[in-house]
Amino acid sequence: MAAVTIRNIRAICTAPAGCNLVVVKVETSEPGLYGLGCATFAYRTLAVKCIVEEYLAPLLAGRDVSQIEELWHLMNGNSYWRYGPIINNAISGVDMALWDIKGKMAGMPVYQLLGGKSRPAVRVYRHADGRSPDEVAENVRRWMDEGVTHVRIQIGGYGGRVGSINKPDEAPDGVYYSPDKYFRDTVRLFDYIRSHVGGEVELLHDTHERLPAIQSVALAKELEKYRLFFYEDCLPPEQCEWLRMIRRQCTTPIALGELFVNPKEYDYLIAERLIDFIRVHVSAIGGITPARKLSILCEAFGIRTAFHGPGDVSPVGHAANIHLDLVAHNFGIQEWAGINDTLREVFPGCPEYKNGFVYANNRPGLGIDINEELAARFPCDDGITRWTQTRRPDGTYAYP
């Protein structure tokens, strides 16, 4: 029997929910057989599209779709310089699509190809923000009423709202926040939620790397008594050595990794057990192939998975997360931003959310498709990104 080969690869850019998404479609020599993968780098969509269509498509044309491991390494090494977010997302789109194709050819969901389910559904956490502790508490209770057991709480978004702020003359434009105010408000928020909502709900928090390293250590200590499920992204990849200090100071569980793109950013964190949850953005590390290997590595060191699942992951990417989650024995929790009706119309076959859990369908492959005609009605916004132009009170640029 002749091998099924890659005929063409395209990147589809769309924004049905207002957030830029990139989905890769790998078409094969078998009529009607294709696969989809997520390559979403919401703030550099055109760069990813260029890599997919101008470099990966000609590189892979005519190659056997069954050789996923071989093709992943070929894509990763072909540019010589490797492990950057643009190339990784492009590789991810193709990698996920190849797994989707393999599942369709086998007549099995991807989770079956990866070893089968470890659980019937995936427990997720939801987000509760607000302008005041009382508003956050109200939103936490709303999720609890829906059956959600894990809620990430914030007050005023990442870094908190500052209102008026004393800035120097000629301060640059940007999104300003105060690390000191954010620290104080966060401690007060947790005290309020535990006092008014109780201890049954599992609480999470994301600092989004908005604090200086030593302040992150202090916040981890302050939050220990509130029994967090995890404390997320307290440090940027460049400063992760500070995790050793956090470990010596407290037992607050640490979740880290949504900015990771290179294995050298996380291999020592796993080997030294400096984190409790790995929080990678699956498309940013290169897709299902490396994410499954990472999950297995983490299992050996007692570290659980908590893959990134915000609005700037496409429904195809969410489906890939769910398939990985269903298989991993060391699964911890899945972030779930929700999928609205418009996204469901553009992407038939989305995973289903119910009572705090997400379920994969049993269709072959990733079980999800795309309506390209409808997707074309929602063009991406490729203008300048504003939310990442964050600044401290004196006007210094702060990494988001």
- Active site includes 177? no
- Both tokens of 292, joined, read 């499954």
Tokens in use for 197?
A: 């909502």
Catalytic residue, from 150, 208, 308, 323: name it. 208
Secondary structure of the chain as H, E, C letters: CCCCEEEEEEEEEECCCCCCEEEEEEEECCCCCEEEEECCCCCCHHHHHHHHHHHHHHHHCCCECCCHHHHHHHHHHHCCCCCCHHHHHHHHHHHHHHHHHHHHHHCCEHHHHCCCCCCCCEEEEEEECCCCHHHHHHHHHHHHHCCCCEEEECCCCCCCCCCCCCCCCCCCCCEECCHHHHHHHHHHHHHHHHHHHCCCCEEEEECCCCCCHHHHHHHHHHHHHHCCCEEECCCCHHHHHHHHHHHHHCCCCEEECCCCCCHHHCHHHHHCCCCCEECCCHHHHCCHHHHHHHHHHHHHCCCEECCCCCCCCCHHHHHHHHHHHHHCCCECCEECCCCCHHHHHHCCCCCEEECCEEECCCCCECCCCCCHHHHCCCCCCCCCCCCCCEECCCCCEECC
Residue 230 structure tokens = 């995890």
Residues 6+ apart with CB under 8 A from 218: 183
Among 34, 158, 176, 266, the one annotated catalytic: 158
Q: Does 231 participate in catalysis according to the annotation?
A: no
Find where tokens 């790998």 sit. 26
Q: Which residues carry out catalysis?
A: 158, 208
